A = this chain, B = another copy of it.
C-alpha cells in the first residue's frame, strides 16, 4: 500500500522513461540520484531537483545504504551494467531492472547478485511516453522483504487509486488498485509484463484489422480486375461505404465495449494524420511477443490470437517473401497460374 515516507532512489538510464520516473519521484518528495552516459540528460534532471552523478562510482557514493538502484536501460546493456554495479554496491543494496528484460534472465541475475549479498527486483513498467502524467503500471518480481522496502517508490511511480473507478465486485485489499503489484519471486514481474505486451500485440492487431475492414468498406465502388486469378466480389453493392476511420476511432472512445487506451491512441494518430503517411507499415517487435508465444507453447496453452498478431508483424516486414514465392511457384506448377500483378 502506498505510504508517505520519503525515500531515496538512484536511477541509471535517463531516456524518456527513466527521466519521467525520476520526475514523478521528485514530485512526491523523494530524493533521486541520477546517472547516464549522456551528461546533458543528467544536467536536465539536476535542474529539476535531482542529484546528478558523473560516474558510476560517484553515483553509488551519493546513495545512502541500503541503496536502491533502478536501471532503465535497453535489454542489451542491462547485464554488463549489473556486473559493474555488483562490484560497487554493498550488502543488502537492491538493484531494480525496470526495462523489458526477458524474465528468464532474472533468475540467474538474482542468484548472481545474491552471492554478493545484493538484492534484485525485476519490475515490468508500462506507460510509455505518457507515464509522467498518467503514472506507470508496475509488475514486480522479488523477495517480499525487499519489495516491501521499496513500497514508497512504487507508490509514487504508479498511477494511484484515483486514476480509475474502483472495481465494483472487488473486496480485497492490496496494491493492485493503486497500479502496482508484487507478482511473485524474481522473474514474475517481467513474466507478467511480457504477457502484458503479448496481449497488447493481440489488441493492437484486432483494432488495426477492424479499422482496415472499415476503411475498405468502399471496395464495391472500385474497379476490380476480372480474370481467372482474382476472385470476383459477388456483392459489390454491399461495399459502397466511404467511412471516416478517424471519426470511428474517436466515437469508440466513449461508451463502447472496445474503449481502451489503444483506441485513444488510434484516434489521436488518425486525427494527426488521417492517411498515416508517416508510417511505412514495417512493424517492429522487440521480443516480448515472441517470448509470450514461447511461454504459451511451453505451457500448452492455446494462444492463436496473440500468435497471429506476432506473425502479422513478421509479414509486415516482408519476412514471408520466400514462402510466398513458393506458393506462386506451386500454383504455376499445378495450374499454370500466373501471379497477380496488381
Q: CB distance A308 to B305 under 8 Å?
A: yes
Residue A1, interface by CB 8 Å: no
Closest to A310 in B: B297
Would A298 and B235 be within 8 Å (CB), given that A212-B320, A254-B178, A339-B284 are in contact?
Answer: yes
The reply to whether A184 and B242 contact each other, CB–CB distance below 8 Å, is yes
Bits for A226-260, please: 1 = Cβ < 8 Å to B, else 0: 11111111110111111110111011111111111
| Chain A facing B: main interface SS | helix
Task: Give the total of A residues in contact with B, Cβ under 8 Å.
Answer: 177
Contacts of A283 in B (CB 8 A): 324, 327-328, 331, 339-340
Number of copies: 4
Q: Which residues of chain B have C-beta atoms less than 8 A from A211's C-beta?
A: 195, 322-323, 326
A262 within 8 A of B: yes
Q: How far is the CB of A270 from chain B (nearest CB, A)?
A: 8
B208 touches A326 (CB 8 A): yes
Is A29 interfacial (CB 8 A cutoff)?
no
- CB distance B184 to A247 under 8 Å? no
A-B contact pairs, 15 of them (CB 8 A): A129-B336, A139-B248, A163-B255, A164-B259, A167-B264, A183-B247, A205-B304, A212-B326, A265-B330, A276-B325, A279-B324, A279-B325, A279-B329, A307-B311, A312-B324
